[in-house]
Structure 1
Amino acid sequence: MRRQGLEKSKEQEEKKATSSGIGVQNERSLHAALKQWYAQPEDNFEVPLNGFFIDLVRGEQLVEIQTRNFAAIRQKLQTLVQEHRVHLLHPITFEKWVLQVDEAGTKVKSRRKSPYRGKLTDIFEELVRIPELIKHENFTMEFPMIREEEVRCRDGRGSKYRKRESIKDRKLLEVVSSHRFTTAADFLRFLPEGLVRPFSNKTLSVALSLPIHRCRQITYCLRKMEVIQVVGKQKNELLFESA
């Protein structure tokens, strides 16, 4: 009777998690490949917990893999870290190949190497949606730098930026390196040695050779993490210093 009760409870939990729209059926190739890359023999996959499916469970640690859009996972993470240790894995594209396929997806029309080159500072594109979470003692993050293959189709339904090409899939080719962050202070590595203090977004942009919008994302996140603070203003530019 006890076993039947446990099975019924697990079934109810799975149905509840499925209703949240999170599960293996929604995976793309990149997500599944990163799960296999990170996994160890004793890990469990797609474990229902508190109305969610957890990508990977390793002992007492929950591992979530999010390839894009941190806003979609923010509430899930905020809920889970209250009672569990959570490790978030998010890939950064270092190099990319673009594969063109026909609308049926069965025929490869072309393959080319993209001129795009990613940097670790690209993490702030998504991190601006959850910067406060790194302050929680139960939360850690990891960013694999990857080579990937992006499968596209000229079906007229994609963005203007891609000339209406739809992205059909993303495939992992190689993990080049991986970078782990366990505390807010770890993110101070993005402030280079020799940076004049106090600093502005403009001076940080020059020091890192990054566009100003990326530096604004960096300082926004570091402020929310409470590792830097505003200490003044120079004309229209805020001035920052370590907290």
Structure 2
Amino acid sequence: MSICDNDVILFHQACRKIIHQERASMGIGTLSEKTVHAVLKAFYESDPEHQEIPVENFVADILRDGEIIEIQTRGFNKLRRKLDTFLKYYPVTIVYPIVHTKYLYWIDEETGEISSKRKSPKTGTIYDAVPELYKIKMYLNNPNLHLCLVLIDADEYRLLNGWSRDRKKGSSRFDRIPTELVDEFYIGGPADYKCFIPEGLPNDYTSKDFAKAARIPVGYAQTLLGILYSLNIVERTGKKGRAYTYRNIL
């Protein structure tokens, strides 16, 4: 999926608005812990009148034109009780941010010094959503549930409080600051989950074949194929040794 120039402009406006507010209230270098959440909420709905709306015993991030938008940066299992209620009354779109390109900064808590930036070797993809999707697998067939996987670039600030000699391993993340909107993948129904199926697969393939084609761990491929199977996107055609073989349906 591609994004338009106007989306990029609106995303930058949201970034400037939220980061300016945080720095004005808390001071540079002390941004709040949920900047990604705040930026995306401002990006998908700039009018505060449609934000933080009570629905039954819960609060929706955005309620506009009869639709709920929930920004969830992690922990989809925490959404289950909300979804039980929200899906009875409204279509719900879960927005899940995935950091595509990340630059790391390290904060020394004792001196307040911030290191120069270093590019992370990892590149985020839509497959990073797989563990979270598994947590709400039982809701994915609901016609009222939609997903928006949004790829962003971000600067990540981490505290030098880890257990290793350089204090980096086991360290705490202080904040992530969005810098660019890279792409959006909207999943409006089961057929749209085909965006997870990589090219180059044989007609009958195993989870190892899938993992190789998608460049993901085999465990991720096994979990994802289980999800796609439950959504009737793929079918099981037999076994190769102890592993299931699959074929694409859609």
For this structure pair, what is the TM-score category when the shorter chain's length is used for normalisation? 0.7 to 0.9
User: Are the aligned partners of 2:33 and 2:175 in contact in 1 as well (CA < 8 Å)?
Assistant: no
Are the structure 2 counterparts of residues 165 and 196 from structure 1 closer, same or farther at C-alpha, using a change threshold of 3 Å?
same
Shift of 1:77: 1.6
Aligned residue among 133, 137, 154 for 1:131: 137
CA distance in 1: counterparts of 2:154 and 2:231, whole angstroms: 31
Name the counterpart of 1:45. 51
Q: Give ranges in structure 2 of 5+ residues lacking alignment.
A: 1-31
Aligned residue among 100, 117, 127 for 1:121: 127
Corresponding pairs, count:
216
Shift of 1:195: 2.3
Are the structure 2 counterparts of residues 109 and 189 from structure 1 closer, same or farther at C-alpha, using a change threshold of 3 Å?
closer
1:153-172 alignment runs, 5 A limit: 153-156=159-162, 162-172=168-178
User: Are the aligned partners of 2:161 and 2:172 in contact in 1 as well (CA < 8 Å)?
Assistant: yes
1:142-221 alignment runs, 5 A limit: 142-156=148-162, 162-221=168-227
Give a deviation string over 1:133-188, Cα, whole Å, max 9, x none.
23111111001101011111112379xx9513111112111111111000111112
Shift of 1:27: 6.5
User: Are the aligned partners of 2:92 and 2:145 in contact in 1 as well (CA < 8 Å)?
Assistant: yes
Shift of 1:50: 1.3
SS at match of 2:115: strand
Shift of 1:226: 2.9
Are the structure 2 counterparts of residues 153 and 212 from structure 1 closer, same or farther at C-alpha, using a change threshold of 3 Å?
same
Give a deviation string over 1:98-135, Cα, whole Å, max 9, x none.
11113279542332221121112222131111123231
Name the counterpart of 2:85. 79
Name the counterpart of 1:32. 38
Moved more, 35-44 or 80-89: 35-44
SS at match of 1:222: helix
Whether 1:88 and 2:87 are equivalent positions in the alignment is: no
User: Are the aligned partners of 2:161 and 2:168 in contact in 1 as well (CA < 8 Å)?
Assistant: no
Name the counterpart of 2:242. 236
Are the structure 2 counterparts of residues 104 and 54 from structure 1 closer, same or farther at C-alpha, using a change threshold of 3 Å?
farther
Are the structure 2 counterparts of residues 61 and 171 from structure 1 closer, same or farther at C-alpha, using a change threshold of 3 Å?
same
Kindly report the root-mean-square deviation, in angstroms, between the aligned alpha carbons of the 2 structures.
Answer: 2.4
CA distance in 2: counterparts of 1:64 and 1:154, whole angstroms: 32
CA distance in 1: counterparts of 2:47 and 2:126, whole angstroms: 29
Q: TM-score, normalised by structure 1?
A: 0.80
Moved more, 104-113 or 121-130: 104-113
SS at match of 1:135: coil
Aligned residue among 38, 60, 63 for 1:57: 63
SS at match of 1:128: helix
Q: Give ranges in structure 1 of 5+ residues lacking alignment.
A: 1-25
Sequence identity of aligned pairs in percent? Answer: 28
User: Are the aligned partners of 1:91 and 1:143 in contact in 2 as well (CA < 8 Å)?
Assistant: yes
User: Are the aligned partners of 1:131 and 1:225 in contact in 2 as well (CA < 8 Å)?
Assistant: no
Kindly provide the amino acid, as one letter, of the partner of residue 35 in structure 1: K
Moved more, 202-211 or 105-114: 105-114
Kindly provide the amino acid, as one letter, of the partner of residue 80 in structure 1: F
CA distance in 1: counterparts of 2:78 and 2:142, whole angstroms: 19
Are the structure 2 counterparts of residues 69 and 187 from structure 1 closer, same or farther at C-alpha, using a change threshold of 3 Å?
same
CA distance in 2: counterparts of 1:43 and 1:241, whole angstroms: 47
SS at match of 2:88: coil
